[in-house]
Amino acid sequence: MALKADICGMVLAAGFVRARILAPFDPVMDTPVPESYRTGAPSLLMAALPYGNLQDPAPPSAGGAYIARFAQRNYYREGVKQLQRLGAVFRAHYGGTKSDFRILCNSPVPEKPLARAAGLGVLGRNGLILTPEAGSLVIIAAMTLPFPLAQDRAEPALNPDHPFPWCENCDPVYPPCVAACPTGAARGDGTLERTRCIQWYASGHGDAVPQEIARRWGNRLYGCTDCQDACVYNQVPIRGVPSDEGPLPAYLDPVELGALSNEALKARFKGTAMGLSWLGPEGIRRNARLAAQSLLER
Ligand code: SF4
Ligand code: SF4
């Protein structure tokens, strides 16, 4: 118990707002960690790193294409960096090899079911994990541990039997997260219609953005967060973890970006949340074009 408290205490001291333990071999757990992710580890640490919602700077007078807060720093890289540092501390204190402390972050690991099973948070009607400390404004990271620790459970207050336990005070048919969605993509049942979702296209998916979606694109260069911004659990000020990983300004000139070569775009966004291979220069250029069009029509 002391070991678990020490481990979780160090994770919280590193800037994570919540740390919970899953025991992948626990027979009562209805969402086992797939073998490919746990590699025989007796415990899995689940942790939530906040990016917060503190005020953005005012937009430039000429307008600008907006980068959502979750992408203004590379919070996934920050999470990995912190867990790597903690892994080294854990090895020094408790033994084990580097590969015993395997980090899973922004990977195919099924993070939402695991986060729910560990009581890291609950699923919201907007399809995101809501945490008690920082609403849905977190990234979720995990790390295998080479020693058995007691399994955390969803807390009674989080009512694991209810599909959306924290959404009970919202209108079930037309909750704020659904009302705020500019394209009707949010269904309010924990899922969304991907081919109507601006964030899906902004992440480089889809061959072409349908006219109907393009008209509602707004000044976004990267990131649609309307269904999060409207959520009642994100209305209080939430402080993000300080990070110098991949800093991006809140606004960039979309016309200037659209004129950059592939190499220049790759260099501009290298190491940032927009430098990921699945977005690529074509995706960034498409987003910039849509944002520029929207700014022109204002
Ligand atoms: S990300 Fe934007 S478009 Fe997608 S479901 Fe949320 S509000 Fe709707
Ligand atoms: S706005 Fe209401 S219904 Fe939607 S995710 Fe937040 S709490 Fe749930």
Which atom of ligand 1 approaches the CA of 180 most closely?
7
Containing structural domain, residue 23: 2-54+74-161
Q: Is residue 68 part of a domain?
A: no
Judge if 149 and 265 occupy the same domain. no
Same domain membership, residue 26 and residue 87: yes
Q: What is the mean pLDDT of residues 256-270?
A: 95
Rg (CA), the chain: 20
The confidence band for 87, taking pLDDT boundaries of 50, 70 and 90, is very high
Asked if 149 and 278 sit in the same domain, the reply is: no
**Is 168 contained in some domain?**
no
For a substitution probing ligand 1, which of 226, 231, 287 has the most ligand atoms within 8 Å of its CB? Answer: 226
Q: Which atom of ligand 2 is nearest to the CA of 126?
A: 5
Neighbours of 204 (CB within 10 A): 18
pLDDT (average), residues 100-123: 84
Nearest in space to 81 (alpha carbons), one of 275, 271, 293, 209: 271
Domain final position from 97, 126, 161: 161
Q: How confident is the model at residue 255 (pLDDT cuts 50, 70, 90)?
A: very high
Q: How many independent structural domains does the chain possess?
A: 2
The residues, any chain, with a CB within 8 Å of residue 156's CB and separated by 6 or more, are none
Is 127 domain-assigned? yes
* Among protein residues, the one whose CA lies closest to atom 1 of ligand 2: 231
Residue nearest to atom 5 of ligand 1 (CA): 186
Residue 59 belongs to a domain: no
Distance, CA of 149 to CA of 172 (rounded, Å): 38
In eight-state DSSP terms, residue 135 is: B
The answer to whether residues 84 and 156 belong to one domain is yes
Got the DSSP string for 50-63?
Answer: E---PPPPPPPTT-
Give me the pLDDT at residue 110, please.
77
Nearest to 290 by CA among 196, 194, 222: 222
State the average pLDDT over residues 60-64.
Answer: 82
Residue 31 has pLDDT above 60, yes or no: no
pLDDT at 202 > cutoff 60: yes
Residues 130 and 210 in one domain: no
Look at residue 30 and tell me whether its pLDDT is greater than 60: no
Residue 223 lies in a domain: yes
Please, what is the end-to-end C-alpha distance for the chain in angstroms?
59
Best mutation site among 183, 191, 215 for ligand 1 pocket (most ligand atoms within 8 Å of CB) = 183
134, 50 in Cβ contact below 8 A?
yes
Mean pLDDT of all residues in 253-281: 92
Are 254 and 298 contacting, i.e. CB atoms less than 8 angstroms apart? Answer: no
Which residue from 69, 192, 290 has its CB within 8 A of the most atoms of ligand 1, so it is best to mutate?
Answer: 192
Which among 106-115, 148-157, 164-173, 196-205 has the top mean pLDDT?
A: 196-205
The mean pLDDT of 63-67, rounded to a whole number, is 93
Domain boundary among 110, 128, 161: 161
Reported for 57-63, long-range contacts at CB under 8 A and 24+ positions apart, including other chains, are 57/249, 57/250, 57/251, 59/219, 59/250, 59/251, 60/251, 60/253, 62/253, 63/219, 63/295, 63/298
pLDDT single digits (tens) 218-238: 999 999 999 999 999 999 999
Note whether residue 117 is domain-resident. Answer: yes
Q: CB–CB of 206/282 below 8 Å?
A: no
In a shared domain, residues 283 and 139:
no
Nearest ligand to the C-alpha of residue 170? 2
Do 142 and 253 lie in a common domain? no
CA distance 102 to 39: 9
pLDDT digit string (tens) for 1-25?
A: 689 999 999 999 999 999 999 886 5
Q: Is the CB of 186 under 6 A from ligand 1?
A: yes
**Buried-state track 139-173, b at ≥16 Cβ within 10 A, e below 16:** bbbbbbbbeebebbbbeeebeeeeebbbbeebeee
Residues 265 and 229 in one domain: yes
> Are 194 and 265 found together in one domain?
yes
If asked whether residues 106 and 202 sit together in one domain, one would say no
Decide if 61 is inside a domain: no
Q: Which of the four pLDDT bands, split at 50, 70 and 90, describes residue 85?
A: very high
Element containing residue 82 per DSSP (H, E) = helix 75-94
Q: What is the mean pLDDT of residues 246-265?
A: 95
The reply to whether 231 falls in a domain is yes
Q: What is the pLDDT of residue 117?
A: 82
Give the pLDDT of residue 259. Answer: 93
28 DSSP assignment: T
Quick one: pLDDT band at residue 27, thresholds 50, 70, 90?
very low
Q: Are residues 134 and 280 in the same domain?
A: no
Same domain (yes/no): 23, 112: yes
Domain-ending residue, one of 133, 161, 189 = 161
pLDDT the model gives residue 59: 77
247 in Cβ contact with 270 (< 8 Å): no
* 0.85 surpassed by pTM: yes
